[in-house]
Structure 1
Amino acid sequence: MARSVSTRSKVLNTAVAGTLGFLMVFPILWILILSLKTEEDAIRAPLEVLFNSGWTFDSYGAVQARSDYFKHFFNSVIISVGSTFLGLMIAIPAAWAMAFVPGKRTKDVLMWMLSTKMLPPVGVLVPIYLIFRDTGLLDSRLGLTLVLMLINMPIIIWMLYTYFREIPGEILEAARMDGASLRSEILYVLTPMAVPGIASTVLLNIILAWNEAFWTLNLTAAKAAPLTAFIASYSSPEGLFYAKLSAASIMAIAPILILGWFSQKQLVRGLTFGAVK
């Protein structure tokens, strides 16, 4: 029987959800407003100045004139998408092995992988920087793709393992009885059944790679710099250019916000995959 919810509870829940939603959206709205102001108005910052003064797109033109936005944009696309799909090629077989050929140490291995995310990245910056310098991967899209793939690998495996555990093992056993090889079992039986989970894993890891700033700022200079470095370039010793910094931030986050908006149903479906039976 469905539990009845009082009107008061509905109103309270709506108010709480609306407040939380506004608090999450407010920073984006604030930098959008600043990006449409002159530098003088953006620095002055009182609300009456921000809302009563004029609006201009000059900061966007100045940002594009100073920096090649599309170069940074394509670097971000290649690095985030490449690291995610390269990680999937390794994570799908690994998650399959842990989900359907469990051993006594499976949970220990999963916890060990997750514990690597608890290590402060600065703790391994020097050795990775030296390796990249000596191997020619410094300031290259290939190098950043490999680094982001490795740092997000625990999340990819954990998510896929959770989804794969919800798939009945009897289906895979039936495929083996029909003569399916291991490769066919993973590609043609397991993967299609876990499409919602894989899709949500892909979306989440693209977002994580797109927003990664620590490694992109320390392992790139100009050639392979993504949009995170594009934003950071507007914080300089000469001072903070609030309007231009806000315009650069909007230009950097707009693509991932649009992707998240159009894929939100798929993302929610994948994240709740297996939660209700």
Structure 2
Amino acid sequence: MTTTAETARTPQASPTKASPARRPASARRRRPLGTLLTILTWLIALLFFAPVAWMVITSFKQESQAASSPPTFFFTPTLEQYAAIVDSNAGAYFLNSAIATAVSTLLVIVMAVPAAYALSIRPVKRTQDVLFFFISTKMLPIVAVIMPIYVIAGQIGMLDNLLTLIVLYTAMNLPIAVWMMRSFFLEVPGEVLEAAAMDGASLLATMRRVLIPMVTPGIAATALICVIFAWNEFFFALNLSAANAATAPLYLLSTMTSEGQFLAQLSAASVLASLPVVLAGWFAQKQLVRGLSMGAVK
């Protein structure tokens, strides 16, 4: 009896509890691998960020220091290059880029949302053919169409006109925007649309009050992609504009003169040209992450 009672009072080891000797051993085996992967990730990230960091550092140098060989690592920072850019006519270039980017992105979103709705929520026959037609327009190299566009723009008096760039940027980004927005609309549950229809909501009311709020992160992600492509576009701006419609990428060419290339001024101009896109991505990062994950295959 005593033995049975003592046995009953003796705590039994839980069968699901891991052995104390095994957990530290497995943790010790995993810890070096995790540390190695972390160090490797940081090295890769620093490798990709190194050119950007060097550009920022060079923008605070004198021209003689920026062109020195071997490179100058210790110097007195100066804002002379940024002051020279502000004193020049750079504001007109950046303003043209801002107008062309903002207007073209707005037009793309306004046209891509209903198009993506029709191709996802209300698909029709030949939907796949329509989608292929949209994406096939991106397969043709821009250099192959620049001559007809130049001739047409010249005949209608639209060369060196900001409206021409807006139309071309809209056409350039619209296929990508339709494909992205379609993937976001496909994530919307059909039950939500059925509930809106049962409540008597019209198509416009459903779009405005149900669909648009649900796909707002996707719209933000699509808009940011369009902003990046339009802001950085160079080929159309180089061939179709001269002075009135010149954009920020063309201002970078002004640092290349017959006297040589001004590396410090080029770095400062590149930093200023990169800031709008970086700030836009910084402020929209939450919506961007949610938007890019909405269209993912789960």
Same fold? TM cut 0.5: yes
Indicate whether 1:141 and 2:162 are aligned. Answer: yes
Matched with 1:108 is 129
Pair 1:257–1:45, CA change in 2 (3 A)? farther
Moved more, 16-25 or 73-82: 16-25
Helix, strand or coil at the partner of 1:180: coil
Indicate whether 1:246 and 2:270 are aligned. Answer: no
Structure 2 distance, partners of 1:130, 1:228, is: 23
Structure 2 distance, partners of 1:173, 1:136, is: 50
Moved more, 176-185 or 28-37: 176-185
Structure 2 distance, partners of 1:34, 1:92, is: 43
2:79 to 41, 53, 57: 57
2:117 to 96, 103, 111: 96
Matched with 1:197 is 218
Moved more, 259-268 or 125-134: 259-268
**Shift of the alpha carbon at 1:104?**
4.2
Structure 2 distance, partners of 1:136, 1:181, is: 43
1:101-146 Cα offsets, whole Å, 9 max, x none, are: 2234222322332222222111000111122222232222221111
Moved more, 184-193 or 82-91: 184-193
Contact 2:218–2:292 (8 Å) recurs in 1: yes
Structure 2 distance, partners of 1:153, 1:276, is: 23
Matched with 1:77 is 98
Larger C-alpha radius of gyration, 1 or 2? 2
Matched with 2:251 is 230
Pair 1:60–1:45, CA change in 2 (3 A)? farther
Structure 2 distance, partners of 1:8, 1:64, is: 51
Matched with 1:10 is 34
Matched with 1:152 is 173
Matched with 2:89 is 68
Structure 1 distance, partners of 2:236, 2:43, is: 34
**Shift of the alpha carbon at 1:45?**
4.1
Moved more, 9-18 or 162-171: 9-18
Contact 2:220–2:284 (8 Å) recurs in 1: no
1:42 to 66, 77, 80: 66
| Greater helix share, structure number | 1
The letter for the 2-side match of 1:6 is R
Contact 2:107–2:170 (8 Å) recurs in 1: yes
Structure 2 distance, partners of 1:231, 1:129, is: 23
The runs of at least 4 aligned residues of structure 1 exceeding 4 Å deviation read none
Q: Which consecutive unaligned segments of at least 5 residues does structure 1 have?
A: none
Matched with 1:86 is 107
**Shift of the alpha carbon at 1:84?**
0.8
Matched with 2:195 is 174
Please, what TM-score do these two structures have when normalized by structure 2? 0.84
Contact 2:67–2:263 (8 Å) recurs in 1: yes
Structure 2 distance, partners of 1:70, 1:119, is: 33
Helix, strand or coil at the partner of 1:52: coil
Moved more, 137-146 or 94-103: 137-146
